[in-house]
Structure 1
Amino acid sequence: MRPVRNRIGVNILTEPIFLEPVFHQKIWGGRKLETDFGYTIPDGKIGELWAISAHPNGPNVIENGPLAGLTLDQAWADHQEYFGHQQGKVFPLLTKILDANDSLSVQVHPDDAYAKAHERPGELGKTECWYVIEADPGSYLIYGHHAKTREELAQMIHDGDWDDLLRKVPVKTGDFVYVPSGTIHALNKGIMVLETQQSSDTTYRLYDYDRVGADGKKRELHLQQSIDTTTVPSQDPKLDIQTEKRGDSTVTTFVTAPLSPFFSVYRIQLKGSLDFDREAPYTLVSVLAGNGTFEADGKSYPIKKGIHFIIPNQIEHWAFTGDMDIITSTPGKAEE
């Protein structure tokens, strides 16, 4: 199918962009992406589903419409009209589902400036956030630290003084956690999250429980990078979560500018039908529970738990109908 053109020859796209999932094996992964979400996943410990990604380490292939067969990074490069002619060489966001069957390494991510100076060309920094899909009773995160100075941080890391350094924060199903770059953090065993993040795959490990990889060796640590990039003293972002009742449905704003310059994230607890108008260049959508339809330009598309898609720039109005739990995100306006 060729793109439709309007009277002045501009390509228009009035259907959602559905994407083939990409799975990543992780030492801490499990099988919940299969048992809980119904994905057909590879054998082994599958820790991550990259649901909406243009990152070179796992770009999604577009399933439908005039862009079918292209990867999302190719679509971003060649069809900017569908994304509102945004500035930037790379698609700026990445949506994942993480299944922490075991605890992740304690880690920190760089900001854009550090990533630009020290990582591969085009790599962004990594601010991220989590919506907790499921958390076992008693679950907790590593979030932040107790060091007062960078010198104290370095000493505690080199001494392995993890009990005194790391903060443990309880977490439960339905929680939202914002993780700016520079924040020491880790998901722990028994937690599944939907992660919205900058399009980056740069992680600096400062502690990994002395685990060994498939080669029988302890996994690489990045102590100096961790010390360089960690925010000291630790800072907790001041979230202002807003909830709005719309009929029998609820729309929650988790985070937006100015606190979050890279993305805004929302939850739609849908019962019935809700209409929306475009307020951003494009919108990322993940269905976490239930089923229903997405309706735009006089057409209806069935959607259900485990479906992820992009609403392109040229869809001005749309509706969700059904009984669903949906997370949406939109790009921020920060310059790279």
Structure 2
Amino acid sequence: MQSEPLFLESVLHEKIWGGTKLKTDFGFKIPSEHTGEAWLISGHKNGVVTVKNGPFAGLSLAQVWQQQPQLFENNDATQPFPLLVKILDARADLSVQVHPNDAYAKVHAHDLGKTECWYILAAEPGAKLYYGHTAKTQAEFDEMLDQHAWQKLFRTVAVKAGDFVYVPAGTLHALGAGILALETQQSSDVTYRVYDFDRVDETTNTKRALHLADAKAVTTIPAPPAEIINTQDNHQNILPLAHEKYFDVFHWLITDSYAFKKQAPYTLVTIIAGAGKLIIGNNTYSLTKGVSFILPANITTWRIETTTKIEAIASNANQ
């Protein structure tokens, strides 16, 4: 079979905190002015993307994963596609939340756990993340949750475009208002809300549910500090951002031409700035901002060319 990348059609999700930047900044056809997420690369049942090109056009990523395991060097197609890549537009603060690890999620949610990371695409002046908490013991954490002592409990950290933050399962966290971020995560949709700023859902006219018992059970105590990598001064073609249990993540920066060699069974790529060409053998594919694709296992070399500059976030699964 001819070696060909899998270009993907994103799935858009409306959110109470979402806005319009997925349209204005990335050109997506958003369903409303409260669009919070574009699921770019996903085999998860809550937002399975489809292949747009080649012999698998029209099939979902989940179907290709199961039916063509050789494209991923996948020895167990009964397991779900392991990663999910999305862009989030935080017009308002997201709920402060925590995700479980694999063991807890398997028992309580019949899903994978959710370790994730953020690459900050844009941030308005003064934008911040909620990351971690101040409690030193489980008893102190539980008491602050029971008393709704949110200002005392939450830690915040300022961020800017180009920052990268790793968010392991068990970390209390949220994107703050004015942030546009690319998220690479385990393929999971399990979220336990701790605080939602007393917002009322316009559809149901009720506050969204909190999950304090689950949060008490899964939150890491004490919380580790946020470690931020900034890529603004990066001049490397390939800058490693994360080498963790579930994934590796890289920032690609090409200002002319760069030849790549396969380093993993398959590679996930999203273009976050600029435009250029992907060249594989005798075939050339157009790359523009917001395009996402997978380089499957049968592609061992490729080249990206640009007349200006092109940036991408790339990742591969480690499980």
User: 2:250 maps to what in 1?
Assistant: 266
3-state SS of paired residue (1:75): helix
Cα contact 2:163–2:228 (8 A) shared by 1:
no
Cα contact 2:237–2:258 (8 A) shared by 1:
no
Q: CA deviation at 1:236?
A: 3.2
Q: 1:89 aligns with which of 70, 79, 82?
A: 79
3-state SS of paired residue (1:19): strand
Q: Which moved more, 1:82-91 or 1:165-174?
A: 82-91
Specify every segment of 5 or more residues in structure 2 that has no aligned partner in the other structure, as ranges.
none
Cα contact 1:130–1:196 (8 A) shared by 2:
yes
User: 1:155 maps to what in 2?
Assistant: 143
> In the superposition, relative to structure 1, how do residues 49 and 290 fare at CA in structure 2: closer, same or farther (>3 Å)?
same
Is 2:137 the partner of 1:143? no
Cα contact 2:162–2:231 (8 A) shared by 1:
no
Cα contact 2:56–2:64 (8 A) shared by 1:
yes
The alignment covers a number of residue pairs equal to: 315
3-state SS of paired residue (2:26): coil
The two structures have a TM-score, normalised by structure 1, of: 0.90
C-alpha distance after superposition, 1:290-316 (max 9, x if no partner): 100111122111111010000000000
Cα distance in 2 between the residues matched to 1:239 and 1:45: 28
Alignment of 1:70-219 (within 5 A): 70-87=59-76, 89-120=79-110, 123-213=111-201, 214-219=203-208
Structure 1 residue ranges (4+ consecutive) displaced by more than 3 angstroms after TM superposition: 236-245
User: 1:8 maps to what in 2?
Assistant: none
Cα distance in 1 between the residues matched to 2:67 and 2:139: 47
Is 2:240 the partner of 1:253? yes
Cα distance in 2 between the residues matched to 1:147 and 1:178: 20
Instruction: Give the residue type in structure 1 aligned to 2:272.
Output: L
Identity of aligned residues (%): 47
Cα distance in 2 between the residues matched to 1:138 and 1:149: 31
Q: CA deviation at 1:268?
A: 1.0
Alignment of 1:17-36 (within 5 A): 17-36=6-25
C-alpha distance after superposition, 1:77-99 (max 9, x if no partner): 11101111244610000000000
> In the superposition, relative to structure 1, how do residues 167 and 288 fare at CA in structure 2: closer, same or farther (>3 Å)?
same
Alignment of 1:212-291 (within 5 A): 212-213=200-201, 214-236=203-225, 250-256=237-243, 260-291=244-275
RMSD, matched Cα: 1.8
Cα contact 2:127–2:159 (8 A) shared by 1:
yes
> In the superposition, relative to structure 1, how do residues 238 and 188 fare at CA in structure 2: closer, same or farther (>3 Å)?
closer
C-alpha distance after superposition, 1:111-136 (max 9, x if no partner): 0000011113xx11000000000000
> In the superposition, relative to structure 1, how do residues 319 and 280 fare at CA in structure 2: closer, same or farther (>3 Å)?
same
3-state SS of paired residue (1:57): coil
> In the superposition, relative to structure 1, how do residues 126 and 163 fare at CA in structure 2: closer, same or farther (>3 Å)?
same
Specify every segment of 5 or more residues in structure 1 that has no aligned partner in the other structure, as ranges.
5-12
User: 2:318 maps to what in 1?
Assistant: 332
User: 1:9 maps to what in 2?
Assistant: none
Q: CA deviation at 1:44?
A: 3.4
Cα contact 2:163–2:230 (8 A) shared by 1:
no
